[in-house]
Amino acid sequence: MRISPYPWDALERLSHSAVALSTGARHAVARAVRVDRLSEAASAVLAGEVIVVLQEIRAADAPSSTEGTAISARTRDGSAEITLTVDDELAATAVARLLSQPVKLGAPHRPTDPALRGAFAALVMEIARRAHGEDLLSVWPSLPAAAGPGVEAVATVLLDGRGFGARAWVRLPPQPTRGSVGGVLSRLGHTPVALGVVVALGLADPGELTALQVGDAWLPGEGLWIDAGGAGRAALAAPGTEHGLGVDLSPDGRIVVRGDLVALSAEVDMADGEGDVGDVIAEAPLVVRVEVGSVTLSAREWAALRPGDVIETGHRIADPVVLRIGGREVARGELVSVEGEVGVRIRSLSTGNE
């Protein structure tokens, strides 16, 4: 058996931007048109076999060529603009077949007849309707006004065995940079993301926490950020994270985004002295995080939030109240007033803390 090195030089070389643009273009177009149904829809409209063979996908700021019959399309949500360019002969053949008329070809390298372009645009619109996704596609016989970041797909269209050239350039709106928080959230799309509403950070020694029983009240002290009515400031954060999104709370459950980053750790002063490991651990204060419910939005909705935006929860932010240490839930309870000081009355202890 002969072993030879893998032919790395034979691999297609793609940039990160090209991959990101290609993914964005595919997702944007898929909302308007089921690409996997295009061949089937075109075959039904033209009463013949239509096969689309993809040849190449590349990043491009404009169509590589508009020679041929070119039409434009836009997704209803404005997430993508498309320039479809096909060989004049394909446009003429498809329109003639649809109208049951003989094929009339124009002179090579001459501008496409406006009537042919209009008829071909109507034909593409009908195919798009039959292969529709969640949103509709608007098609018209003109070109995009300006270039921009996008991706171009080059394909061969087989109509009853005859091959024709076709190119589809998809222009995308400005995308968040790869690796940025906005970019990650945008790519997650409609995936639900839940963040806890943190209203307090308190310190407690291990002995105090292990002594807690159902019915006891724990007071966060000066680390509480809300008043007895539930109004004040808070941070939206996932369990275990060290920072959260700063927000303001109102008693009716409205959350107003401030946009600042809130640190969710506390500085602890340790006394000097000698002692064994057990003593050190037993005396080490623990940072207790108090959460009053959570907010769930899609990843795309989180990415779109800006300072001043209002998140409507539809209910009071108060239940359930969760105590966390190091991202781990240790107890649940309810907000109570202890001689004018807001605290948490324990309703249940998590497994391992009873």
- Please write the tens of the pLDDT for every residue from 246-285: 999 887 778 899 878 888 876 555 455 555 555 555 566 8
Q: How confident is the model at residue 156 (pLDDT cuts 50, 70, 90)?
A: very high
Percent of the chain with pLDDT over 90: 13
pLDDT tops 70 at residue 146:
no
Task: Tell me what pLDDT residue 184 has.
Answer: 60
Q: How confident is the model at residue 1 (pLDDT cuts 50, 70, 90)?
A: very low
Measured CA distances, 120 to 73, 105, 144, 255 (Å): 12, 14, 17, 51
pLDDT tops 50 at residue 178:
no
* Domain positions in the chain: 12-171, 188-349
Task: Tell me what pLDDT residue 144 has.
Answer: 56
Compute the distance between CA of residue 335 and CA of residue 237 in angstroms, rounded to an integer: 20
Q: How confident is the model at residue 314 (pLDDT cuts 50, 70, 90)?
A: low
pLDDT in tens, 25-54: 776 676 666 777 888 989 999 999 999 888
More confident residue, 314 or 334: 334
More confident residue, 70 or 189: 70
Which CATH superfamily includes the segment(s) 12-171? CheC-like (3.40.1550.10)
- Its pTM surpasses 0.75: no
Q: CB under 8 Å to 186, separation ≥6 — which residues?
A: 175, 176, 299, 300, 303
Compute the distance between CA of residue 232 and CA of residue 152 in angstroms, rounded to an integer: 51
Q: What is the mean pLDDT of residues 296-305?
A: 82
pLDDT tops 60 at residue 153:
yes
Q: How confident is the model at residue 223 (pLDDT cuts 50, 70, 90)?
A: confident
Q: How confident is the model at residue 94 (pLDDT cuts 50, 70, 90)?
A: very high
* Average of per-residue pLDDT values in the chain: 78
Question: Largest Cα–Cα distance in the chain?
Answer: 99
pLDDT tops 80 at residue 63:
yes
Q: How confident is the model at residue 136 (pLDDT cuts 50, 70, 90)?
A: low
- Three-state SS string across the chain, please? CCCCCCCHHHCCCCCHHHHHHHHHHHHHHHHHECHHHHHHHHHHHHCCCEEEEEEEEEECCCCCCCCCEEEEEEECCCCCEEEEEECHHHHHHHHHHHHCCCCCCCCCCCCCCHHHHHHHHHHHHHHHHHCECCCCEEEECCCCCCCCCEEEEEEEEEECCEEEEEEEEEECCCCCCCCCHHHHHHHHCCCEEEEEEEEEEEEECHHHHHCCCCCCEECCHHHECECCCCCEEEEEECCCCCEEEEEEECCCCEEEEEEEEEECCCCCCCCCCCCCHHHHHHHCCEEEEEEEEEEEEEHHHHHHCCCCCEEECCCCCCCCEEEEECCEEEEEEEEEEECCEEEEEEEEECCCCC
Residue 343 · residue 223 · CB < 8 Å: no
Percent of the chain with pLDDT over 70: 72
